[in-house]
Structure 1
């Protein structure tokens, strides 16, 4: 689909906006990726939890708490990813493998020793092991406390109730009191978390080992990690509890259980939720803190300077808020590497915009947002990723977001370089325009929004920057075909620009357009 055929909304209507339940379901898919689990793991776990709630005869309020506790149980997992990577190397791999170990006793100690410093030299591994075991409980308690605190704060930011926030603080506690960080046990652990612990683990073990394997695991942890009451409810009818729909039906089935499934967000609430998701993503790496929020503001300001309609400005800003959510699916071992990436590592990096689109596109009200967000590393000359799109496939919101990401990222430090500063960021952006990667109009708007170029005088008759550029070339005698080649656009797009420009300035031919350009000082580009 070309950019010209893609719909860029002029405004958002309430019927187009998603529900909070849909957005949080998408968030749960992002959490899955950070856990090293297939998409919809947490949604399937939530369905298992609701079936356990049925068998326990729980009330509505308890069921609602259980649903969202289960859905975002591991929302804090990415916030300590850099710490996991410090101790274990690949944070995603160690989380995936931890599902097959009871975090207690000798099996847990063997698991730690096998994974500490994974991928490092023997000497480095021994140093990492010695550092951890010098104060093992203190280090791990600090790690888990950070996770649980982050989870509760993030739950509050995305609008979940105090009951869910409280439950998330007990993710690593055990029924026998041997967990962390507080050593809480038995009914001191909220019921929603006791159910979620069983559901989360049972889903993985069923998928790997079948119903019998899940039953064996749950029974082995009865009275240890798991509440005996919940284990007994599970093993009384394991096939019924685990009867989760096939992959294609999980999304719709799980959403039918969502407490607020029929309440669409209004525009302001959606914007606030997407900003919160962007902040959530940026916690994955210390050097990206605030990145998505800054890119969103820069993109919105630039879109306004470029003369986009209100709906397109809102679309660009929303896409900017969540453009990096796919980063959660790439290990911090890669993001934090101070040296050049291997080919395999770079392929993982190139995948993250695709993961962004995959996460968001299941929400019908966010599909246009997903499409723009997925293009934030695409380039006009086809050298971008993940799809290598060409100029004719990239609309102005795509181009603005790509420029805003390039500029803002340059302002921030990375493990392999220092922050470039405003002048360096502007220089890099202009170089990429010169090399044909980024759009000159979009880049100028971003630099103007960033205060790196003097703000131009208001354009007459509401003309956009692109329309002024087309008008100038029309006045200079260029044909639509020549304009299209110069601006790397399709002839159809140029024709649309010309028609809109004529309508705005009240002329019907090139002579009238040329006279208008002369009278308003638009016939020559200002350098």
Structure 2
């Protein structure tokens, strides 16, 4: 189904460690931290683990539990944004306080309803106070389970997935979701907790400030044993961290730094990265895979070379990674964007480039991925590139991405049906924004959607598939009920049955299950045959 192949000039396959390091850069964006935060904290964690005498297996778990520890957080950006306004600003602020008790409650109250009118903020803050712990617990439960699912999809050791279940637990047992405490939490996670927070305070306030933060949370948020090791050897552990080439040094510590992926494994990991990017917004379910399939299918239709087909497939998979750096408050805004908000949106293709630019073997993919929002008439972004500066591959990916987006709902409009999307694409091609040949090729492989004759997977009914798609779009039971003209209780029963049939327990897992089973409404899964 997928054009597994090698790219020109790429020599051997992609490095698994480098792709996972790139994912960590995208995670940094969603945390509101500078890129390389997670890589630098992985180095801190590795240095602590060595001094604690952990074995090689444990050190490998420390490295990756730290590097991708927050991989689930962006999957809850929709819910976090509904509560706190700017999801990225909220995450960034959580590093400034011990995440329990009054300081944390005050931080949450400062963010509740941010961006809403004053009267609405007051009402929402009062309501939140009543339900704060249960709402945050629900979010964290969802985060931990989705982090485990995502780490599994990235091909990480099952020990890493198990460790990620404890990311929000604390030494003193006041964490979530289970209130695990002390040595019931794996030592690898205790080390990751310290390394993640210490990196921020070391970078922003210096070594003495970092030591002060650690001492103030020792025995509460942090394990006394891990804190003692850092306190004793702080200068050596922190040595050179702010001056070195972090990417190179952190990859030198990666347990599988020499692991090269086959073409098929490379595509599988890039597909997992695509799903990771698309979980940022509930209305982009399956977006990147859809773009990749359209672009590769259209390239084949036009008789492009196998390497170009692979190139476009991979560019389609990774083009949206930079979206992590833009708040869901902007992505999900129903009205027009302000100038400042538009500037954030216009940045995201550049952020995709920054995330992927150091991965060996993606050199030919990255420039195409970065230009998917450019237009032939110069009206696109981020650079307003026009005409002959856009290659045939650039034009094809831009066209495929635009068509796929038209098929998906957005906060300000419902999805278009394939006919309506095709009309809109042709209109924009006639206006000179898209290449006519690319538009014709994309529409040729998209084609009308075939009527279903085979049963839905997992024993799902037509109604349950409809419900699943609405859940994946972030709709609440009340919103689903209103859309389908059914009682809220009926909607809840439907959702519970869908979850039971798929073996999932939250929106993120339901979304991934929908993608895996081809229920995301891709237009061209069958058109990209080998």
Q: Secondary structure at the match of 1:328?
A: helix
2:264 matched to which residue of 1? 268
CA separation of 1:452 and 1:383: change in aligned 2, threshold 3 A: farther
Q: 1:89 aligns with which of 85, 91, 94?
A: 85
Structure 2 distance, partners of 1:78, 1:329, is 10
CA separation of 1:103 and 1:11: change in aligned 2, threshold 3 A: closer
CA separation of 1:332 and 1:218: change in aligned 2, threshold 3 A: same
1:195 matched to which residue of 2? 191
2:112 matched to which residue of 1? 116
- Within the alignment, does 1:449 sit opposite 2:445 as a pair? yes
2:153 matched to which residue of 1? 157
Structure 1 distance, partners of 2:175, 2:240, is 29
1:52 matched to which residue of 2? 48
Correspondence 1:326-337 to 2 at 5 A: 326-337=322-333
CA separation of 1:248 and 1:48: change in aligned 2, threshold 3 A: closer
- Within the alignment, does 1:28 sit opposite 2:24 as a pair? yes
Structure 2 distance, partners of 1:311, 1:244, is 41
Whether contact under 8 Å (1:42, 1:71) holds in the other structure is: yes
Q: 1:186 aligns with which of 161, 182, 193?
A: 182
Whether contact under 8 Å (2:6, 2:310) holds in the other structure is: no
Correspondence 1:275-314 to 2 at 5 A: 275-314=271-310
Structure 1 stretch displaced more, 327-336 or 417-426: 417-426
Structure 1 distance, partners of 2:440, 2:244, is 44
Structure 2 distance, partners of 1:82, 1:282, is 12
Structure 1 distance, partners of 2:411, 2:123, is 22
- Within the alignment, does 1:399 sit opposite 2:395 as a pair? yes
How far the C-alpha of 1:391 sits from its partner, in A, is 2.1
Structure 1 distance, partners of 2:407, 2:211, is 52
Correspondence 1:449-488 to 2 at 5 A: 449-451=445-447
2:71 matched to which residue of 1? 75
Q: 1:166 aligns with which of 162, 167, 179?
A: 162
Structure 2 distance, partners of 1:14, 1:367, is 8
How far the C-alpha of 1:135 sits from its partner, in A, is 1.9
- Within the alignment, does 1:211 sit opposite 2:207 as a pair? yes
Q: Secondary structure at the match of 1:287?
A: helix
How far the C-alpha of 1:56 sits from its partner, in A, is 0.5
Structure 1 stretch displaced more, 244-253 or 363-372: 244-253
Structure 1 distance, partners of 2:260, 2:8, is 13
Structure 2 distance, partners of 1:326, 1:436, is 27
Size of the aligned set, in residue pairs, is: 445
Structure 1 distance, partners of 2:9, 2:183, is 46
Structure 2 distance, partners of 1:112, 1:385, is 35
2:96 matched to which residue of 1? 100
Whether contact under 8 Å (2:10, 2:362) holds in the other structure is: no
How far the C-alpha of 1:218 sits from its partner, in A, is 0.6
2:342 matched to which residue of 1? 346
Q: 1:256 aligns with which of 252, 255, 270?
A: 252
Deviations 1:468-522 (A, max 9, x none): xxxxxxxxxxxxxxxxxxxxxxxxxxxxxxxxxxxxxxxxxxxxxxxxxxxxxxx
Report the TM-score, using the length of structure 2 for normalisation.
0.82
Higher-RCO chain (CA-CA 8 Å, sequence separation at least 6): 2
Structure 1 distance, partners of 2:243, 2:309, is 35
Q: Quote the RMSD (CA, aligned, Å).
A: 1.5
Deviations 1:176-198 (A, max 9, x none): 00000000011111111110000
Tell me which structure has the larger Cα radius of gyration. Answer: 1
1:369 matched to which residue of 2? 365
How far the C-alpha of 1:18 sits from its partner, in A, is 2.0
Structure 2 distance, partners of 1:289, 1:150, is 15
Structure 2 distance, partners of 1:125, 1:243, is 45
- Within the alignment, does 1:390 sit opposite 2:386 as a pair? yes
Structure 2 distance, partners of 1:10, 1:397, is 16
Whether contact under 8 Å (1:14, 1:266) holds in the other structure is: no
2:427 matched to which residue of 1? 431
CA separation of 1:56 and 1:216: change in aligned 2, threshold 3 A: same
Q: Secondary structure at the match of 2:180?
A: coil
How far the C-alpha of 1:133 sits from its partner, in A, is 2.3
Whether contact under 8 Å (2:10, 2:361) holds in the other structure is: no
- Within the alignment, does 1:127 sit opposite 2:146 as a pair? no
Structure 1 stretch displaced more, 83-92 or 245-254: 245-254
How far the C-alpha of 1:16 sits from its partner, in A, is 4.1
How far the C-alpha of 1:224 sits from its partner, in A, is 0.4
How far the C-alpha of 1:13 sits from its partner, in A, is 7.1
Unaligned runs of 5+ in 1: 1-8, 454-527
